[in-house]
Amino acid sequence: MVCWDPRIEEMPQEELERMQYKLLKSLVYRLYSFSPFYHDRMKEQKVHPDDIRELSDVTKLPFMFKRDLRDGYPDKIFTASQEELVRYHVSSGTTGKPTVVGYTQNDIDLWTTSLARALTSCGLGRGDVIQVSYGYGLFTGGLGLHYGAERIGATVLPTSVGNTERQIELMQDLGSTAIACTPSYLLHMGEVAEKMGISIKKETKLRTGILGAEPWTEGMRNRIQDWLGIKAYDIFGTSELSGPMFTECAEQKGIHIWSDIALTEIIDPRTEEPVAPGEKGELTVTILRKEALPMIRYRIGDITSMDDSPCPCGRTHPRIQRITGRVDDMLIIRGINVFPSQVEYALMGIPEVGQHFQIVVERKGALDDMLVRVELNRESFSDKITDIMAIRQKIEHRLRNSLNVMAEVELVETGSLPRFEGKSKKVIDKRSL
């Protein structure tokens, strides 16, 4: 196993937990003493730093939500002055005010270290050419990956998003061995390359994908890997925690969360109690070392489960399983909970189905109707109406079985659904328009 920092990455769990406790304790003291926002929060919760006597006492601390950042717009809850900041990132979100994240130099270094470990664990290093096709700018994807890739001594090709044909030419000419972008953008790139008569699998050096910023399924991973001839790794992060920070290792069995940086809890969003390892719940993270915008028990809203079994790679840091959706992504269709990732999971198991789909939900009378628009593979398209009807029925049947709700399926022409350069939008919920 090649590690960026074996001393930390292979540290026995008990030692890691001791380190987490020390970091938590000093974070809580610092915030209680110097930050009016955290001080008031802890007082409201009737908790004092002296009450944090062991790691599990983290549960005594108050939660934080995205609305705390919105209410504190732009920098009311920062714990560093503007002079100490070296960067801002801003996330627009779909509702309400944007959220602003400020970084001190140490915050940037911590973020970069986290990614250096992560990219090394995906097998990247000196000699690799990493094409960063996440957006550069206010979004954290581009600059985050850029700094991480430079730190491990790789060569960065900072293409950002868009201008896809040129990206593919550069990929060939400069020999990109890895690409970092959303899974949706990589799918789009693969299609554009084919239209240009280029096979990414056979005519480029691309071997690794660092894909994330949106939910994607195991079925989608398999398709991307087979089609493009790469190993595709899941990368996770949110702007509030810094940006992209954590990836899978070569085992591709969950995302390692560096314990010396983040303390992870998975809770039941309704009872707010911790769930057992392996059980799904809401990801809640305390960042143990951030200076400008510390986050304590931040309710990210993503649904996942914890895997604390030893990873064959030898890293001792726990893993979270693939994010299956967000607490607020859940569609309730005729009283049944449906996550877009369940639809993707069902569709990816059907060989005739292509890579792209869209879910449209609307209310007809008193009832919710779900329509799933599906692109077929080019080879599966047939002039015979009976063949098409049979495929449609097969898809409807599969969706009904796995979602427990009826969905109407509309087969649409290959290439007709929208393609995305950043995060994709797979759901149109007309009930909320």
* Contact positions vs ligand DLL (CB under 6 A): 91, 134, 140-141, 212-215, 234-239, 243-244, 300, 302, 323, 326
Rounded to the nearest 5°, which phi and psi values hold at 328? -90, 5
| 173, burial (CB in 10 Å: exposed 0-12, middle 13-18, buried 19+) | exposed
User: Is the CB of residue 299 less than 8 Å from the CB of residue 357?
Assistant: no
Report how far apart the first and last C-alpha atoms of the chain are (Å, whole number). 50
Q: How far is the CB of 198 from ligand DLL (least distance, A)?
A: 25
Q: Inter-axis angle of helices 183-195 and 218-228, to 10 degrees?
A: 30
Q: How far is the CB of 283 from ligand DLL (least distance, A)?
A: 8
Q: How far is the CB of 305 from ligand DLL (least distance, A)?
A: 13
Q: How far is the CB of 101 from ligand DLL (least distance, A)?
A: 9
Q: How far is the CB of 213 from ligand DLL (least distance, A)?
A: 4
Closest CB to ligand DLL among residues 91, 414: 91
Q: How far is the CB of 125 from ligand DLL (least distance, A)?
A: 20
Q: How far is the CB of 296 from ligand DLL (least distance, A)?
A: 17
> The tokens 């491990």 sit on which residue?
152
Joined tokens for residue 43: 């007082």
**What residue number has its CB nearest to ligand DLL?**
212
Q: How far is the CB of 212 from ligand DLL (least distance, A)?
A: 3
Closest CB to ligand DLL among residues 19, 90: 90
User: Which of 174, 172, 128 is closest to 152 using CA atoms?
Assistant: 128
Beta strands 155-157 and 129-132: pairing type? Answer: parallel
Radius of gyration of the CA atoms of the chain, in A: 22
User: Which of 210, 237, 244 is closest to 129 using CA atoms?
Assistant: 210
Please tell me the distance from the alpha carbon of residue 327 to that of residue 337, in angstroms, as a whole number.
Answer: 11
Please tell me the distance from the alpha carbon of residue 95 to that of residue 180, in angstroms, as a whole number.
Answer: 27
